[in-house]
Amino acid sequence: MADSYLYFGDNLDVLRQHIADESIDLIYLDPPFNSDKDYVALSGKRRSADILPTLQLLAGEDARATKGRVFKDIWRWDDEVNNNFQRIIECNNNRLSQTLTAFSQLIGKNGLLAYIVMLAPRLVELHRVLKPTGSIYLHCDQHASAYIRLLMDAIFGSENFLNCIVWCYGLGGSSPRYWPRKHDDILWYSKEPNKHNFEAVQIPATSQRMKGQMKKAPDFWNIPTINNMAKERTGFPTQKPEALLERIIESSSRKGDIVLDPFCGSGTTLCVAHRLGRKWVGIDNAPKAVELVEERLGILFGCEAVYKLKLTFSN
């Protein structure tokens, strides 16, 4: 793959139709969290006068009626989900079939299982496209992280689990009924045991004994979330800070490697990867998200020649 690509479409279709086996060096994904929310972009300047109408035309009438929506993180069990569940159960992956069967017995056929059914075939495809020397970082929170960990074990193998990284971001609300929720989990897996690329990022030591020295970053990362005045802020509701992606990309890939983000949102992964000398593949099915990525790449890098936009939306 000689170029970087931005795909507008369903990531499952794009992965199956356009991404070759073992072609990706590093995957980061920040999928929906099963938060039961409908997310709308707060702001964003249109860089091109015709990109959003073009994407909406491909996406259909519903996208034009909800042009501010970036994604809907609300999951319900219905006939379509049940059919997808049955197809997965009947596949040749015994560990995955057994895991989903156990989930259905434990939690029932509900919104949580519908969310897992959405995620499962995408993780199977991500496993297929990852190189033997590659690794994957999956970003999640308390809504479904325990089940996602077991799902990842079934697809990538528990022997390839490397770390549960705790991202401590600090900001956000609190409640009188439980401890403040001030962190997300990032599950890190390799494709094959002990073959993944890794060079630990160094951070300033905080102990008196090592004062003034650098040390390997631990598995809890104190990286502030994006504040309202930050220059990198796009208005995308689940945008992650560039510093978070810098740590992942610098530690687990090399210059010239290909980084994939199948839920690329406002494009933080793509922008950081490009700045660090990596090629990238981004996928999203929200017209507003692709508009923001187009705008952000243009502002940061000044030209469209750094990538190719593929309009592949299918209903």
Total-model pTM: 0.90
Q: What DSSP letter does each residue of the chain carry, written as one string?
A: --SEEEEES-HHHHHHHH--TT-EEEEEE-------EEEE------SSTTHHHHHHHHH-HHHHHTTTEEEEE-----HHHHHHHHHHHTSS-HHHHHHHHHHHHHH-SSHHHHHHHHHHHHHHHHHHHEEEEEEEEEEE-TTTHHHHHHHHHHHH-GGGEEEEEEEE---S--BTTB----EEEEEEEESSTT-S---PPEEE--SSTTTT-EEE--SEEE-----TT-TT--S-TTPPPHHHHHHHHHHH--TT-EEEETT-TT-HHHHHHHHTT-EEEEEE--HHHHHHHHHHHHHHHS-STTEEEEE----
Give the total number of structural domains in the chain: 1
- The mean-pLDDT minimum among 118-122, 153-157, 233-237, 246-250 falls in 233-237
Indicate the pLDDT class of residue 27, thresholds 50, 70 and 90.
Answer: very high
Span 40-61, pLDDT tens digits: 765 544 444 444 444 444 445 4
**For position 122, which CATH number holds?**
3.40.50.150
Span 76-107, pLDDT tens digits: 999 999 999 999 999 888 999 999 999 999 99
Provide the residue range defining the domain that includes 33.
4-311
Span 240-253, pLDDT tens digits: 999 999 999 999 99
- The mean-pLDDT minimum among 57-61, 142-146, 177-181, 219-223 falls in 57-61
